[in-house]
Structure 1
């Protein structure tokens, strides 16, 4: 028996409404069940969403990832892996001076590959410049060194381009004049100078500032020994600075020497070339005294004093001008560790090994029973030889003279060889323990090494007011690290391999489509919504024609249309306008125009529902074939090899257009 409350409402018929949280949950659940899920199921299994999950689209995505890695990720990863903190090993609280050596950019020009036809040479120039620009920009943004030193061979054909007073010794290059060299100078600037500030311009904490030094010349910049022309050298010095200089950085003294000009001292007719070698010889003669003066200035600045003492005011007679000198502090100081910079490596005995980091020729395996590494390894060594406008190492006498006149050399850094080499010279005067020389790899991928690179140097030498080390040993103030750059040829090979894989996969898919194992591309917006009538062929057409002659076209059409709604192939049939039995229809047949007398034989290429309000034109009727009251455009369906070619062309074109578009965008934007 039903119970009622005081208000006459059955007990239990009323419930308190859900809370706000409960109502929100129910609403969201209903929205997901009745709106979101049907939408997702429909879109994923049909239409545009289904087209996204295709082999061509998957390959486009793979191309985008691989191309981005080759043009961006490889450089970011290579330079980023050389982070200073990953290999520096100083005591806690140290503030080292961080320096990068860049060797042999050797900008590709007509001198590099004289027989290479157009457009290979311009493309090589473009891609080598792009490679160095990316690498150098990452050096600035990822590593942010305090100083960058270039070790010569900035250009490849710099020595060949004529000046106003000189001509190239080779006739094929005499057409290139001073204006061409200026274009090369601007090109160098666009790669390196313009990207010096990519990571910023402010000095790091504890450092006085940032420095860019590119004055050291190489044999491709000036020539070698007797091949050096004064006009060419003067032009280089005017734009890059003197090749002989001394810099004090991080409490170390860097001495740069123009070794390609100094090498003219070792040729038989050296007296005739005095104008070539004399500036470097004079520089070496005063190197020790100049080093001391610069150290005194640096220590005064560190103590907060002026670099120079006050200038006395007195009159100097004109005849005393040549011997007059600027006043200088005469403080007692301890010499900083000296680092030699030369483009051409120092002399070493033939077969002296370069160590395990040499890429092109790694160390030879020792014979059974012999210690490793070998003391003599021609394969792993720099060849002690020379040729036209080059020499792989300096003369033995010149090397010894450099070491004795500079004095206290602990490290030497050189270029020219393009590959890495590290050894200790124990036969020259040094600061103790011999001179450890590092030959730096070329930064260009066109110089015969698959993995270009640069050398990072960390300097830490805390001193007192007189330059004496306050911690540690002066022989342990330098740490070096070789940083390798991406293999550009390897990147191109990966692109080629991916293209081959793309071609194989798309060819296989096209073959399956041609063999009816896979469907063709899904319908597009241009395809008809409803299936179209097909033209009967063969016996069916002949049978239909006889039926029309026997029963009349109108009766046959009416009976055939009323008896069935589709033919044997499942295609819809369209009734003739005259066979309609219903005449009472709104607006002349549901929006369809009533046929005029002269239009009784009008034909249509698609079912009438697609032609509502459309009368067509004469041109559209030219390609129309009719059968009875049913008509259709003749559209041959491709089969076999034609279908295979069509599918491969469309899918491969899509992948290549999307992939190349992304590639060229990355190229254009650096």
Structure 2
């Protein structure tokens, strides 16, 4: 005879107004403070019945600090370091005060040189499928935008110069009516180039303008982006005039003179000048008459460079001394019928001997084959160690820039063009170039220079997609004060030797983080996290089995007794609620009164066990049975074989429980971690 315990029913005979929002809120608060908190304090009592708030707090702390929380914190720390910390640490390690060596009281002008951002586009990886191509484009933009923002925050340079190759396929997106593009890129056109221009502005220009608008920049700040590269225009006779006009209209002229820190910086469009002497692809002619429209503007700029440089230098010094900006003019009375053209009074600048010239070019100057680039080159360090004087081999093929050319590229300028540039600029102290994507430092002794050699540094690419594991940029510190007689103070000191005039410019290579290494660390942490969560889900099943077995074999708790062949409702709907219930009862599984029936029996007193007849009439659980089968309503008797279909079905159900718990734990860890990454990415 079985007796069933039913929950009491409450039947209302009168209509009651549903509770409002305030009443519901009051009930929730009263439930929390009137029921939940006393319950927590009750669980915190010692075994002798004395309350222990400290022990209760420790139990609550253990309930909060679990494996999932630990994994979330580990991921949050790893993402902060990989997305912010390592970038700030790398750039902060290049702070000016760590490497500048100026006399006390010096106020140098600080500059950053950025080379080859080369925004990734369909031209970069034509065979890369979607979405991998989109992810590559977006992440390289994010990497450069983040790096450039942190540079502004931590280093706060006064001037930023870009050394060309702003785009990767800029020469391919032709204006309307321009022929000659590869058939693969004709569908993009000029509209795509405009989008790339806006994209470049979002990465670099917006942050600069935002800081300037907020008053974070001091006076005389400059960002100069007009120097073109071969990926912006093409090279030599491959340049299309409409493409160059468009670039100059949006970014400024490729040939310019700027006086910065009492140094004259000459930017030269050497990719256009390289057409001089090349064979014209249309006429077949070769020599100075071929492709004249491409290289003639640069040649004209070089012819007038010295006089232009003198005027620009005089104007800049006058402005520094708060004098008039323009040149003086002749004052002469002429007749109305006498045509006359006014000319400015201008002679050679008196500052030229004190203000050295610096050349900025995208393509490096010519050097002898196998000229080594020094120990800071990433791809191929020097093959031998330096001698006692710190000098390396004169020839080191692995450590050198290869002297070669191909379609729309040329690793170095020709010897004739290189010599012409140095001679027409005059007094060149340093040269800074790009194009190679890796660092290279050489001392040219074959060109005319005031100190017997011109130091050239090829700057590393700023993007991590350009074949170098650690991108970078170059820091320049300029200090060249003039005295009352317009002479350079630092150069004219008696204790300085002839080579110390190079000390008006100090440089430092700053390396950015290795993004591929960061990705590898993320992947390893992801594999470890998934493995840990899977083991956790599998072990949770074993813990449930062990706890239920102990409960059923305990003399003080009887197993579930049901009517023969009567289906039972599982007391726990999933593993998560089971784990929660275990935690609530200090490890003992509570039998549900709503999901099962209860039988009265002469055996239902503490310490007694059911007889054999009773064993056959309920789905009991012994040490040889799987308690999880009973919990899910799939009990088996001792007579069933292990290969029974029901046994196999129960094993499959356990795997499903493990999978559900594993999936649930992945979501519990992944959601807050994903929100944290979105927050970090939104900062840049």
**Shared fold per TM-score greater than 0.5:** yes
Please show how residues 499-518 of structure 1 align to structure 2 within 5 Å. 499-516=526-543
Matched, 1:109 2:124: no
Could you say if the C-alpha distance between residues 172 and 647 of structure 1 is closer, same or farther in structure 2, counting changes exceeding 3 Å? same
Deviation at 1:261, TM superposition (A): 0.2
Work out whether residues 313 and 349 of structure 2, in 8 Å CA contact, stay in contact via their aligned partners in 1: no
Q: Deviations over 1:72-124 (max 9, x none)?
A: 11211111111111111101110000000000011111111111111111111
Q: Whole-Å Cα distance in 2 between the matches of residues 567 and 123 of structure 1?
A: 67
Aligned to 2:553: none
Work out whether residues 236 and 273 of structure 2, in 8 Å CA contact, stay in contact via their aligned partners in 1: yes
Aligned to 1:175: 187
Aligned to 1:383: 402
Aligned to 1:614: none
Could you say if the C-alpha distance between residues 514 and 318 of structure 1 is closer, same or farther in structure 2, counting changes exceeding 3 Å? farther
| Of 84, 99, 102, the match for 1:90 | 102
SS in 1 for 2:473: strand
Matched, 1:216 2:216: no
Aligned to 1:476: 503
Deviation at 1:208, TM superposition (A): 5.0
Aligned to 2:255: 244
Aligned to 2:674: 660
Q: Whole-Å Cα distance in 1 between the matches of residues 221 and 314 of structure 2?
A: 21
Q: Whole-Å Cα distance in 2 between the matches of residues 360 and 101 of structure 1?
A: 21
SS in 2 for 1:379: helix
Q: Deviations over 1:426-470 (max 9, x none)?
A: 001123131100000111011011111100000000112453112
| Of 146, 149, 153, the match for 1:134 | 146
Could you say if the C-alpha distance between residues 464 and 204 of structure 1 is closer, same or farther in structure 2, counting changes exceeding 3 Å? farther
Work out whether residues 327 and 344 of structure 2, in 8 Å CA contact, stay in contact via their aligned partners in 1: no
Work out whether residues 159 and 168 of structure 1, in 8 Å CA contact, stay in contact via their aligned partners in 2: no
SS in 1 for 2:516: helix
Q: Whole-Å Cα distance in 2 between the matches of residues 367 and 70 of structure 1?
A: 35
Matched, 1:564 2:605: yes
Matched, 1:61 2:73: yes
SS in 2 for 1:167: coil
| Of 430, 435, 446, the match for 1:416 | 435
Could you say if the C-alpha distance between residues 240 and 325 of structure 1 is closer, same or farther in structure 2, counting changes exceeding 3 Å? farther
Matched, 1:267 2:278: yes
SS in 2 for 1:104: coil
Q: Whole-Å Cα distance in 2 between the matches of residues 390 and 667 of structure 1?
A: 35
Aligned to 1:490: 517
Q: Whole-Å Cα distance in 2 between the matches of residues 420 and 664 of structure 1?
A: 34
Q: Deviations over 1:551-604 (max 9, x none)?
A: xxxxxx4x759x6379869xxxxxxxxxxxxxxxxxxxxxxxxxxxxxxxxxxx
Q: Whole-Å Cα distance in 1 between the matches of residues 447 and 343 of structure 2?
A: 33
SS in 2 for 1:216: coil
Structure 1 regions of 5+ residues with no counterpart? 1-32, 545-556, 570-622, 626-635
| Of 201, 207, 210, the match for 1:189 | 201
| Of 294, 299, 319, the match for 1:281 | 299
Q: Whole-Å Cα distance in 2 between the matches of residues 203 and 429 of structure 1?
A: 44
Could you say if the C-alpha distance between residues 660 and 218 of structure 1 is closer, same or farther in structure 2, counting changes exceeding 3 Å? same
Q: Whole-Å Cα distance in 1 between the matches of residues 181 and 337 of structure 2?
A: 44
Please show how residues 464-613 of structure 1 align to structure 2 within 5 Å. 464-472=483-491, 473-516=500-543, 523-524=579-580, 531-532=591-592, 557=600, 560=602, 564=605
Deviation at 1:406, TM superposition (A): 0.6
Q: Whole-Å Cα distance in 2 between the matches of residues 70 and 101 of structure 1?
A: 25
Could you say if the C-alpha distance between residues 567 and 431 of structure 1 is closer, same or farther in structure 2, counting changes exceeding 3 Å? farther
Deviation at 1:138, TM superposition (A): 0.8
Could you say if the C-alpha distance between residues 372 and 296 of structure 1 is closer, same or farther in structure 2, counting changes exceeding 3 Å? closer
Deviation at 1:422, TM superposition (A): 0.5
Q: Deviations over 1:611-663 (max 9, x none)?
A: xxxxxxxxxxxx999xxxxxxxxxx9997544443433332332222322322
Work out whether residues 299 and 466 of structure 1, in 8 Å CA contact, stay in contact via their aligned partners in 2: no
Aligned to 1:400: 419
| Of 372, 381, 384, the match for 1:365 | 384
Aligned to 2:156: 144
Q: Whole-Å Cα distance in 2 between the matches of residues 89 and 177 of structure 1?
A: 50
Could you say if the C-alpha distance between residues 37 and 471 of structure 1 is closer, same or farther in structure 2, counting changes exceeding 3 Å? farther
Deviation at 1:300, TM superposition (A): 1.9
| Of 324, 327, 332, the match for 2:350 | 332
Q: Deviations over 1:46-86 (max 9, x none)?
A: 5xx43322222111110010011111112111111111111
SS in 2 for 1:90: coil
Work out whether residues 461 and 474 of structure 1, in 8 Å CA contact, stay in contact via their aligned partners in 2: no
Q: Whole-Å Cα distance in 1 between the matches of residues 109 and 377 of structure 2?
A: 27
Q: Whole-Å Cα distance in 1 between the matches of residues 216 and 132 of structure 2?
A: 43
| Of 360, 384, 387, the match for 1:341 | 360
Greater mean deviation of Cα atoms: 526-535 or 289-298: 526-535
Aligned to 2:473: 454
Aligned to 1:75: 87
Deviation at 1:203, TM superposition (A): 9.0
Work out whether residues 514 and 641 of structure 1, in 8 Å CA contact, stay in contact via their aligned partners in 2: no
Work out whether residues 438 and 468 of structure 2, in 8 Å CA contact, stay in contact via their aligned partners in 1: yes
Which TM-score applies when normalising by structure 2? 0.74
Q: Deviations over 1:203-231 (max 9, x none)?
A: 999x7510110000000000000001110
Deviation at 1:286, TM superposition (A): 1.3
Q: Whole-Å Cα distance in 1 between the matches of residues 402 and 540 of structure 2?
A: 60
Aligned to 1:648: 662
Could you say if the C-alpha distance between residues 258 and 37 of structure 1 is closer, same or farther in structure 2, counting changes exceeding 3 Å? farther
Q: Whole-Å Cα distance in 2 between the matches of residues 466 and 525 of structure 1?
A: 89
SS in 2 for 1:246: strand
Aligned to 1:432: 451
Q: Whole-Å Cα distance in 2 between the matches of residues 368 and 477 of structure 1?
A: 27
Greater mean deviation of Cα atoms: 312-321 or 638-647: 312-321
Greater mean deviation of Cα atoms: 131-140 or 286-295: 286-295
Q: Whole-Å Cα distance in 1 between the matches of residues 418 and 214 of structure 2?
A: 38
Deviation at 1:514, TM superposition (A): 3.5
| Of 44, 51, 61, the match for 2:58 | 44
Rg: which structure is higher? 1
Structure 2 regions of 5+ residues with no counterpart? 1-44, 280-285, 492-499, 548-574, 611-631, 635-649
